[in-house]
Structures are given as structure tokens and as C-alpha cells.
Amino acid sequence: MLIWPRPEQEMVPLIEGLEKGGLKIVYFVGDRTEHCNPTGSIYHDHYDAWDGKPAPALADVNIPPLSAKEIEESFRLESMILTMMNKHFDPAAVDQRKHTYYTMLAYWRHVLKTVQPEAILFPIVPHSLYNYILFELAQENKIPTLMFEETVFDGRLISYRDFRKSNGALQAALAYNLSRGVMPGDLSKEMRDYWEENRGSKRNISKPWFQRELEDRVSGRTLWKIRVRALLRSVSNGSTFRLVFTYLARQSKGNLTSEYGRVTKAADFSRAYVYFPLQFQPERTSSPQGGVFHDQLLAVETLSAALPRGWEIYVKEHPSQWLLRNKSQYNCVRWRGYYEQLARISGVRVVPIGTNSYELIEHCKTVAVITGTAGWEALLRDKLPLVFGWCWYRDCPGVHGVRSVDECTRALTNVQAPARHESNMAAFLKAFEQVSIRSNIFQSRDPKNAVTPEESATTIAQFILKELHNPNVQIKHHVP
């Protein structure tokens, strides 16, 4: 099964590469790419699947509701899905969300029984309801899965069979490199340049490619273009009065920015503190990759219960939280009173959103994240981060994976990097260099990355064949 809703320019070389390598695609979820569907395969539109609609080929099939026992066996999955519905189904009532989930669960159980796949392929960690249900059902039925994750290194992917488990090849390469005592001088020019540019407490770490793209999308000029277009649209359809009235009504009721401003207190860099930057939500980096800690209040409460005497937790909102989707309106992930509840947690200081993140990392004892890049930035500054979720750098020596108060307590006694930290980091970077895939899932805007979407798709197809079908396949990396 190919669950790959990407543009045509990527799908053609990907599907051709997989079929030439001997893989038969029996079910294909795409994004307006039905014309790319292989002969004999069932095609399903991504957005139809996300809405809980069946594939046209199965629309007339009578799929009976699941039994209470079958639903109860998937309560853990249900909990995660209800959270994922904060995106796409955010206005829906809880019972409406549940019924949609029960329908989806029955449908995808039927699909697996019908097509009996030998493997299921995802471009990234599944998080669009239907593909996460499919992933969990695959784990339950011992059907191999393969997925990819993009990293701070533009044009380098890491692969997983299960995102909750480490990449075995990366772990093996890391163990070997640690035994050899790899140093920065042993890295490739690309990795060595990155290390030298970003290493050290006085450097402003290069923003990762996805952060630069996001900032471009939400820049002042872009926002003004969006607002002007909305105004012109309202003039053309006669809804200007309603637009202005709605805006003024929202402003009078208060919003996230005003509530956040009421609870903030300036950072005091002379204090001992843990820096906890909130994740942008709803997004896969917190659900599913944060597990139960998609509830960031729970993560902060867990950290607070483990805090050494005299320490504080400096919490800062993600800068994009008020710029995308719901803007500064209260919503299902940032409800009225969210920041007030956050500020009441023992030891928490909510700092102004304009506080420089690099300064916060520079002066903190350590950083705690769900899966965020700030944890990686802490490692580059000789601090050992606490990570609540499953992120791409989880295997780097010095990362404390934490899931409880006790684990946080132990981690907070060991937050300063050891003397061998430079060698440990070099060993990880070398291992990442050795096993990462020279490709992109989302098209790069980095002028230094000359790899085309077609080349990326070809490389990914070769990797999939090698991983699932033929270990002798030679992967031809397209190096920028």
C-alpha cells in the first residue's frame, strides 16, 4: 500500500521506480493524482480519506460496524485520534469525533483484510487520522511499515519502521563511531562546516530550513497580502460589514495574545531555570510524536514536580502559534485560560514571546522539549536536553528521554555536557551522515540544495526497494 499524497512530479518517478523494482501497488492514497494510479490498484483521494469517505472502488461495499470488543481493543488508538482531530475536525463535538473514528476504523480494517498488503509506505510520520489508524492496524497485524522524517539538515532524511523506535542502522553506526573515537575532523565537509558554524555558546545557530520557510510564510508582508486579499474578497461579495463586525467582536472578547501578555514576566538570566519552548499545535511533532505529552500542560507539570529547589521553568509560546490556522483566537489547542493555567504551575515563569530563544538557551541549565529543535540547539551548546517525545535526534548521546517525574528528576541531576561531548556529537553526526538519505519529502527552498523533486523521488524509491525488497539495490544519491 502506497499512502503518499504528494504532487505528480514526485509520484511518477516514485511509482515507476517501485514497479520496476518488482513491487506491486495494491492501494494508493494520493493528492489529486488518480491518473498516476497503477493498473489494478485501488485509488483513494487523501482528503476523502481524511474526511472518512471510502475509496470509489469500495463505496458500495457494506462494511458492518465494529463490535464493542473490537473498539475497546483500540482504546489507546482512540485517545490519540481524538487529539489528532484538533486539526481538520476542530469544531466537531467529542461524540461526533468518536463516530467518525469508529467509521474509519471499520473501513481500514476491511481494507487490510481485502488487499492483504505485505508492506505499507508513508512519506512522513503518519498523522492525518486515516493514515495513523492504518499505521496502528499495521503494527497490530505485524505488517511492515516504512516512513521518513525530515531533519534540520535540508536534503537529508531519516527512515523508521516505527517512529517510536530508533533507526537500527543509525544506532549501529553510532556505536561503531563511538568505539572509534570519531572527532569533528572525521566528518564530511558538509557536516564539518555545520559543526563549525553552529558549535559554541556564542554562535547564533543557523535556523533550520523549515523554520526559515515558516517565517517567510508568516512575515509581515505576507500577512498584509492575506489581509488585503480578504478585504477585496469581502468588497466583491458584499460581506465587508460582516467582516469588520466579526473582527471587532473578537477583539472585544479578548484573545490569546492579550491573555498571554497578562501572565508574562521578563526573563531573569541570573536565575537557575529550565527553558521549555511550547510546540506549535496541532501538528505531528506533538501528536503523535509527543505521545501523551501532546498535552504540554502535562509535560510542564511533570517537569515542575521534578524541579530542583530554587529552579524555575521559563516557558515561551511558539512564535507561529498566533499566526497560522486560528491566529490569536481561542481554539481547541489554546483555549480560554490556557496560559493562566500554565502560569499557575509551580515554578513556571511565562516569558514574553519576543524573548530571544538563543539567549534563553545560552543562560539556562538545560532545555526541555516535546520534540522541538531547541533540544538539538542545546546539544550544540554543551547542554543535555530533556525530550518527552520521539524526535530525529533522540539517539544522540546526552539526550535524556523522559516520560515520568522520576525520569525528569534523574535527568536534571545530569544536564551539563561531559568532557567527551564533542566526540559524542561528532560520532552522532558521522552516523547520521552515513545512514541518512540524500533526499527531500517537501520541496526545498534552500538555494544550496540543487536536488530536484524527481531526483528525490527516485532516490526514495531505490531506498524503499533496498529496505523492503532487495538489499542489493544500489542507491544513487543526488548530492547538491
pLDDT at 122: 99
314: Cβ contacts below 8 Å, ≥ 6 apart: 267, 273, 274, 275, 276, 349, 351, 360, 364
pLDDT at 413: 96
Residue 152, SS3 per DSSP: coil
- Cα(184)–Cα(192) distance, rounded to whole angstroms? 6
- Phi/psi of residue 277, each to 5°? -80, 130
Query: Is 392 in contact with 409 (CB distance < 8 Å)?
Result: no
pLDDT at 451: 81
Mean pLDDT by 10 residues, the chain (480 residues): 96 97 97 96 98 98 98 97 96 97 99 98 98 98 97 95 97 98 96 91 52 52 63 76 60 85 98 98 97 99 98 97 88 97 99 96 98 97 97 98 98 92 97 96 71 92 90 58
Tell which phi-psi region holds residue 88, choosing left (phi > 0), alpha (psi between -120 and 50) or beta: left
Query: Is 170 in contact with 432 (CB distance < 8 Å)?
Result: yes
pLDDT at 200: 72
pLDDT at 203: 54
- Phi/psi of residue 87, each to 5°? -110, 135
pLDDT at 196: 93
Residue 126, SS3 per DSSP: coil
- Cα(397)–Cα(178) distance, rounded to whole angstroms? 10
pLDDT at 295: 98
pLDDT at 101: 99
Q: Within 276-404, where are the H helices? A: 296-305, 338-344, 357-363, 373-380
User: Distance between alpha carbon 367 and the CA centroid of its chain, in Å?
Assistant: 18
55: Cβ contacts below 8 Å, ≥ 6 apart: 27, 42, 43, 44, 48, 49
pLDDT at 210: 47
Residue matched to cell numbers 469517505: 53
Residue matched to cell numbers 492483504: 116
Q: Please work out, in degrees rounded to the nearest 5, the angle formed at the alpha carbon of residue 417 by the alpha carbons of 173 and 211.
A: 70
pLDDT at 254: 87
- Cα(63)–Cα(160) distance, rounded to whole angstroms? 32
pLDDT at 327: 87
Question: What does the block give as the cell for 77?
Answer: 488508538
Q: Taking Cα atoms as reference points, which of 300, 317, 331, 309 lies closest to residue 263?
A: 317
pLDDT at 471: 65
Q: Which residues pair with residue 383 across a beta bridge?
A: 416
Q: Taking Cα atoms as reference points, which of 330, 326, 327 lies closest to residue 341?
A: 330
- Cα(385)–Cα(382) distance, rounded to whole angstroms? 10
Give the domains, in start order, of the chain with CATH numbers: 2-156+437-469 (no CATH), 193-217+254-431 (3.40.50.2000)
